[in-house]
Structures are given as C-alpha cells and as structure tokens.
Structure 1
Amino acid sequence: MADEEIHDSPTKWVADHVRSYVETDGAKGHDFQGKLPTLLLTTRGRKTGKLRRTALIYGRDGDRYVVVASAGGQEANPAWYLNLCADPEVSVQVYGETFHAKASVAAEAERPALWEKMAGIFSTYRRYQKKASREIPVVLLEPLR
C-alpha cells in the first residue's frame, strides 16, 4: 500500500479536506468544522484495485476506531464501505500517524452502543438513519500494530 498512488475522494470539498489534513498531519482537518474528529481512511477499490482515500468522522472504542457508513442517509452504502467489505485491510491516518488496520462491521450485539456513541459525536446520524430504509453500518477499524 505504501508505494502506490492514492486517489482522493472525487467530491471536491472532501478532496480539499483530505489534502489539507495530509499536508498538515491533521493540524488542519482533524477537527472538522472545529469540533468533529476525523481520520483518513484508505481502502482498495473493489473494481479498480486502486487505493481510495476519504475523510470520516470517528469515535473510539478502546483501541478501535469507529466510523459510520452513512452516505448522508442515501439508500446505497458509500463506496468506501463496499471497498472494505471486499478487502478489510485498510490504512488509517489520525493526525500524523498512519497505520494498517482491519475493518469489520460491528456485531449486532455491540452495534446499539457504538451507534449511540457515534450519534453523540455527530447527532445528524440520527436524521440520516430516519431518512434511509437501510440500517446504516457501524464499522470498526482495529489497528494492526
């Protein structure tokens, strides 16, 4: 993963956020809108095999990082989620630290508590869930250190 070209989100404001995050080791970008902790997630494209990077709001559960595949409440899961389902070995950057992690969807038993944790960080997730007919996945990123 380290020597390959990484392709940032095709969404301009996300790509701008990612670029700022990378250039400053998260000094600009980690606290999105001044209050929301974000990390950079790099997955391998399930169709292209290319590395794809995006910024996501995150929480913590012990050593694990927690992200939500909300896609703004759209009916389809986001591409990054589909990519990590196909290949759960991902790269994560938090501030200036980059590490490999294994991604997994939260088990049914632990999802409610993790969902509440994430909705406490970004309450708009509740509105997204009401809008979507799908259950929005909660994803765990476990560092491989």
Structure 2
Amino acid sequence: MAKNKTTETAASVGDFIAAVADDLKRVDSQKLVSIFENVTGQPAKMWGAAIVGFGSYHYKYDSGHEGDAPLVAFSPRANAISLYLSSQFPTRGGLLQKLGKHKSAKACIYVKKLNDVDEGVLKEMIRDAYLYSEKFHQ
C-alpha cells in the first residue's frame, strides 16, 4: 500500500513560514498560525512539506487505506493561501457567502490575502470546521 505523503513531521513551522518568499504571504501565514492556534487551542504542526495543521484525526477507508490528517490546516501556495476546512460542517455555505474575496473547491478555500476576507467570519469558519471534524472523527 502506498505511504501517505501528508503526515505530521517534526519540522519547524516557524522555519517553514520564515522561508515563504512572498512577503505578504509570509506575514499572512504568521497571522494565520496565531488565529488557528487561538481558535482551536492546538499548536501548529507541519504536515508534509508545506501544510500547517492543527489537531489530528485517524481515518480508515473501506479499501483498508488509513492514516492521520489535521482537523484544520492551511498552506501558503504560489497562487493563494489554501485553507483546508471540512466541506461538511453545516454553517460552511452561509459563512462562505460572508467571508469576502475567495475561491472555493470541495474541501479547500483559496484566499489571495487576509485583508480580502472578514477575519471574524474566518475565525467562525475555523471554529465550526474544527469542532465538526473533531466530533465527526472521534
């Protein structure tokens, strides 16, 4: 069975963020670490080479494939900051409408810069996604 690429590592979140080339993404990423830690009560940990995650859960598919994943996470990617929040939590749709400038896919929300979104709505989304995922995966 293939090994999961995105596993928790001992790499330094601070070092990873300090190495983000884009100044604004680096500052936004530092702020996101603080926001996610305050909302979830969990320390930031590196998952794979480029994902900053908070909390974790174990999953096992019917196929037998299993592993661990962060409950909520983000990654400063080249084109945007990817927010990894559950696609299932009940308030997601309504909060996305109030979030501000973003693009979304099934489980990802893409934000160019934090100033484009309502920080209060973002915190609510992180909290709701975290609590939903924590409950769903217990």
Scaled by the length of structure 1, the TM-score of the pair is: 0.26
- Greater per-residue helix proportion: 2
Larger relative contact order, structure 1 or 2 (CA cutoff 8 Å, min sep 6): 1
Scaled by the length of structure 2, the TM-score of the pair is: 0.27
- Greater per-residue strand proportion: 1
